[in-house]
Structure 1
Amino acid sequence: MELIQDLFNYYAQNAWYVWEMFYKQFLMSAYGVLFGAIVGIPIGVVIAHHHKLSTWVISLANVIQTIPALAMLAVLMLVMGLGPNTVVFALFLYSLLPIIKNTYTGIRNVDQAMLESGKGMGMTRFQVLRMVELPLSLSVIMAGLRTALVITIGVATIGTFIGAGGLGDIILRGTNASDGTTIILAGAIPTALMAIIADYAMGWLEKKFRGKAGSSALAR
C-alpha cells in the first residue's frame, strides 16, 4: 500500500512532466511506424508481385530486427547525432519487418478469382492493386502496423540514452536513485499502458477493415 501511495504522490507532483514524456514517446513511436508504412507497404507490394525478391528483402529486414536496440542507437548516433530524430529512424528500421511481411502475406493471399474478375472487367494492373488487392489485404497490413507500433513503443524507451526524452527518462532517474522503485514504476506503467491502448486501438481498426474487405468482396 505504501508503494501505491508513493506512486500516486509522484504522479500528483509530476503529472505534467509524465504527460510530456508520454506524449514525446508516443510521437517518436508513431512517426517511426508512419515512415515504416510509407516505405514498407510499397516494398511489400513489390515483392508480392516479384516473388524471387521476397526472400532477400525479408531476410534483410529480419537481420535489422535482430540488432540490439542499444547497438542500433549507438551506430546511428555516430551518423545522425543525439536526439529524437535518431530514435525515430531506429524505430523506422525496427518497424519494417512486420509491415513488409504482412503486406507481402496479405497481397499473396488475395483470392485469385477476385484478381481474374478484376482483370476481366478491364482493370489495369494499378487498378487491380488499388481496388482489389489492397482493400482485401488491408486487415493483414493493419495487423503488421499494429505489431510494429507495439514494438516501437517498447524500444523508444531507450531513447533516453541519447537525449531523446520519453518515459525512459523517468525510468532512468529511478535506476539512479537510492530507492527508485516508485520512480521506475512511474515510467514503466505508462509505457505498458501506451502499448496496451495502441494494441487495442489498432486491433479495433484491423477488425473494421476486415469487415469492410469482406463486404466489398461480397459486393463484387
Structure 2
Amino acid sequence: MDFLHEVIQLYIERKDWFLELTGAHITLSLTAVLLAGVLGLLLGIWIAECPKVSGPVLTVANICYTIPSISLLGMLIPLLGIGNPTAVVALTLYGIMPMVRNTYAGITGVSSDIVSAAEAMGSTRLQIMLKIKLPLAMGVIIAGVRNMVVMTISVAAIASFIGAGGLGVAIYRGITIYDTAMTFSGSLLIALLAILCDGLLGLVEKKIKKGMHLI
C-alpha cells in the first residue's frame, strides 16, 4: 500500500511532466505506426501479387524482427545519430513485419474462384485488388495492425536510451536514480496505453469480421 501511495503521489506531483511524456510517446508511436502501416501494406500487396519475391522479402522482414530492439537502436546510431528520428526508423522496421505478413496472408487467402469470377466479368487487376482482395483480407490485415500498434507502443519505451522522448524517459530516469516508483509509473502508463489501443482495435476487428459474415 505504501508503494501504491507513492506512485499515486508521484502522478499528482508531476502530472504535467507525465502528460508531456505521454504526448511524446503517442506522437513517436503514431509516427512509426503510420509509416510501418503504409510501407507494410504496400510490401504485402506487392509480394502477394509477385510470388517470386515473397520469400526474400519475408526473410528480410523476419531477420529485422528477430534483432533485439536495443541492438537495432545501437546499429542505427552511427547512421542516424541519437534522438527521435532514429527511434522512428527502428520502430518502423519492427512494425513492418506484422503488416507485411498479415497483408500477404490475407490477400493470398482470398479464394481463387472469387478472383476468377471477377476476371471473367472483365475486372482489371487494380479493381480486383481494391474491390475484392483487400476488403476480404481486411480482417487479417487489421489483426496485423493490432499486433503492430501494441508492439510499437511497448518497444518505444526503450527509445529513451538513445535520447528519444516518451514515457521511457520516466523508466530510464527511475532506473538511474534507483526510484522504483518512477520506473513503475512510466511502465504502468505504457501498459495502459497499449491495452487501450489493443481494445479499440479489437472492437474494429470484430466489427469488420461481423460485416464480412453478413456479405
Q: Aligned residues: percent identity?
A: 35
Q: Report how far residue 29 of structure 1 moved.
A: 1.4
1:189 aligns with 2:212: no
> If the length of structure 1 is used for normalisation, what is the TM-score?
0.93
Distance in 2 of aligned mates of 1:151 and 1:177: 27
Q: Report how far residue 73 of structure 1 moved.
A: 1.0
| CA-to-aligned-CA distance 1:157-179 (integer Å, 9 cap, x gap) | 0111111111111111111224x
Larger displacement relative to structure 2 (23-32 or 10-19): 23-32
> If the length of structure 2 is used for normalisation, what is the TM-score?
0.96
| CA-to-aligned-CA distance 1:184-220 (integer Å, 9 cap, x gap) | 11101001111111111111111122223333xx3xx
Larger displacement relative to structure 2 (45-54 or 130-139): 45-54
The 3-state SS of whatever aligns with 1:82 is coil
Amino acid at match of 1:99: M
Amino acid at match of 2:134: L
Q: How many equivalent residue pairs?
A: 215
Distance in 2 of aligned mates of 1:6 and 1:12: 10
CA contact (8 A) 1:82 1:163 kept: yes
Matches within 5 A, 1:1-220: 1-178=1-178, 180-215=179-214, 218=215
Q: Report how far residue 87 of structure 1 moved.
A: 0.5
Q: Report how far residue 50 of structure 1 moved.
A: 1.8
Distance in 2 of aligned mates of 1:183 and 1:40: 35
CA contact (8 A) 1:136 1:214 kept: no
The 3-state SS of whatever aligns with 2:123 is coil
| CA-to-aligned-CA distance 1:122-181 (integer Å, 9 cap, x gap) | 211100000000000011111111111111111110111111111111111111224x11
Larger displacement relative to structure 2 (143-152 or 75-84): 75-84
Larger displacement relative to structure 2 (203-212 or 118-127): 203-212
CA contact (8 A) 1:167 1:187 kept: yes
Runs of 5+ consecutive residues of structure 2 not aligned to the other structure: none
Runs of 5+ consecutive residues of structure 1 not aligned to the other structure: none
The 3-state SS of whatever aligns with 1:110 is coil
CA contact (8 A) 1:138 1:213 kept: no
Q: Report how far residue 3 of structure 1 moved.
A: 0.8
The 3-state SS of whatever aligns with 1:123 is coil
Q: Report how far residue 43 of structure 1 moved.
A: 1.0
Amino acid at match of 1:125: R
Distance in 1 of aligned mates of 2:211 and 2:121: 21
CA RMSD across the alignment = 1.2
Distance in 1 of aligned mates of 2:210 and 2:21: 36
Question: Runs of at least 4 residues of structure 1 off by over 2 A?
Answer: 211-215
Distance in 1 of aligned mates of 2:212 and 2:136: 5
Distance in 1 of aligned mates of 2:13 and 2:121: 64
Distance in 1 of aligned mates of 2:213 and 2:77: 45
Distance in 1 of aligned mates of 2:129 and 2:120: 14
